[in-house]
Amino acid sequence: MGRDHHDFTGEIKLVFLPFLELADSGLSDYLSSSDLLGKRHCFAVMHEARYDASLCPRPLLFVFEKKETDLQFCVIDVSHNDVGQLQGKGIEVNKEYLERYLKSGVEYLSLNSPWYLQPCSIKKPWGQEIWYSAMEARGVCRFASSSHGSPEGLSQSSHQGAPIPWVLELSSLIFGAADKLNLLKILAPHNHPNFGELYFELHQYKQEVYVVSHVDKTAWPGGVGQMRFGFCPKKLAQYQSFETFKSDYLWAAKQYSNHRAEIDELLSGGRALRGGADDDNAAEEILSLECKIKLREELPQALLQKEATLYESLNEFVGVRELSLGDVVKVPKNFPHSLMHGVRVVEFQTPVYERMILSFNQKVLTQEHWDTEAALALLSEAPKAPEQAAYPEDLSGVSIQTIVEFEDFLVKRLNFHESTQLCWETLGLDADVYSLIMSLGSNVTLLPAKGAVLVEATSHWALAAEQSVFLRAGLAVDFTAAAGDVVLICQPNIE
């Protein structure tokens, strides 16, 4: 690696760094060298933004500094400052400008510490998604070195953090045996029945698990919500063949879809009268719930009554599952499902964006039509609902539960029944891969695991409710929490 990096402790002002393929560079072995203590080393990478086709490749500069008990780095987009200039197949770095930039408050991440996941909120017709580890054209999450209180504080802080896809140039250093970053998000539907229901959809390649974190008492006074889950067993029993069932379901879906299109056209007209552009789907997506309710109230009652009747007829084919706080829902491939209004969940999923929409009770903004016929064609038989597992509770301390184990990832849940400390080594997790850790309590703190090489023996990382961290491969932490706190841990499954 000698020609691909530079020790930035000398007197030369301008240094040329050729672009380096960090994933195949032997970076881990190089950075572990004791010769680097007290020195600053830089590496140049040309970053391809495969998650956003609108972005051009950009030159990034990784700056590593090694101290006695720590190895930290920052990453700089040199196309937006004077630190360096693109020169052929590399970057010419101005050491004077670099020094000045590093003193301006740039975000440093330690390879010996957990990294907070800085979320971004994505508005949806049905509410919002809060992303923690995603990277798309619609939003890019970031790694941050410190907490900023609530998840909202993290997402709105001027403390920018480092974009996750930039840092993933170091995947060989932080992923271990894994090769992709699983997705972590919160689904937060509106509590209104007409505007808080998600798409009834299935996935060919993606698997998901939900953990119910809140049931809105306004929407569900008894504290028990619902989701649409597969097809209705009683309705299926009325048919001699699944093909006939699918044919009738498809007919009901087309009847509702045609009527839905008429309603959506009238709603778009109402938006236009209020100053919204007719063809501006993005503007329609961010309408407030109050505005949507008002627009709907202005529609003819006969139209709304017909919609309700058609939607009820369609949903006679659909199964329903009740949901309470703490419930776990496993969603396998090719299984139709949809959260309903007022039920908030934490979701871990395979990092693939694909879905097939069977129905939706609002206008779909991301595609022209539903995928009902194509989705049904994938199903040769009625998909069986996954069993609702019972999870044993150790009421004397901490319950450690494996709530899902798909072929590509697993999730463990820690239920604290008393204030205590829990050691990482008792969890049975893989030390050779990364972890995503989410807190569902307000008193959760991460501590250096016994014998672990972390920044300092006195370090700790507090997690508020719905805060999350990324723990790179090779690191371990212990947990302290109070009675009632819950922690979720996701790891990739490696064959």
For residue 453, what pLDDT is reported? 58
Architecture of domain 115-182+408-492: Sandwich (2.60)
In the prediction, which pLDDT does 234 show? 97
- Alpha-carbon span 15 to 85, nearest angstrom: 11
In the 8-state DSSP scheme, what is residue 181? Answer: P
Strands 127-131 and 142-144: unpaired
Contacts of 256 (CB under 8 A, 6+ apart): 307, 310, 311, 313, 314, 359
Confirm whether pTM is higher than 0.85: yes
pLDDT for res 83: 83
- Residue 215: its H or E element: strand 208-215
How far is the CA of 319 from the CAs of 45, 192, 235, 242, 383, in angstroms? 50, 20, 9, 15, 11
The alpha carbon of 438 is separated from its chain's Cα centroid by a whole number of angstroms, namely 11
CA dihedral 7, 8, 12, 15 (to 10 degrees): 80
What residues pair up with 412 in beta bridges, in sequence order? 402, 489
Between CA 339 and CA 335 the distance in angstroms is 13
Rounded-to-10 torsion of CA 388, 392, 395, 399: -90
Task: Measure the CA dihedral 171/175/177/178, to 10°.
Answer: -90
Provide the residue-wise pLDDT of the chain in tens; the chain has 495 residues: 444 556 666 666 777 787 777 655 566 766 666 666 667 888 888 998 888 888 888 899 999 888 777 888 999 988 877 788 878 788 888 888 888 888 887 888 998 899 999 999 999 999 999 999 999 988 999 999 886 544 454 444 444 789 999 999 888 788 887 889 999 999 999 999 999 999 999 999 999 999 999 999 999 999 999 999 999 999 999 999 999 999 999 999 999 999 999 999 988 875 544 444 333 344 445 689 999 999 999 999 999 999 999 999 999 999 999 999 999 999 999 999 999 999 999 999 999 889 999 999 999 988 889 999 999 999 999 999 888 777 776 767 899 999 999 999 999 999 999 999 999 999 999 988 999 999 999 999 999 887 665 555 458 899 999 999 999 998 999 999 999 999 999 999 986
pLDDT at 37: 67
Phi, psi at residue 247, to the nearest 5°?
-60, -45
Spans of all domains in the chain: 2-106, 115-182+408-492, 187-377
Backbone torsions φ then ψ of 376, nearest 5 degrees: -65, -30
The β-bridge relationship of strands 398-405 and 409-416 is antiparallel
Do the beta carbons of residue 92 and residue 15 sit within 8 Å? Answer: yes
Distance CA 373, CA 349 (A): 25
Q: What is the pLDDT of residues 257-275, one digit of tens each?
A: 999 999 999 888 755 444 4
- Amino acid identity, position 233: P
How much is the pLDDT for 343?
98
Dihedral angle sign, alpha carbons of residues 450, 391, 211, 406: positive
The order of strands in the sheet holding 84-86 is 14-18, 90-94, 84-86
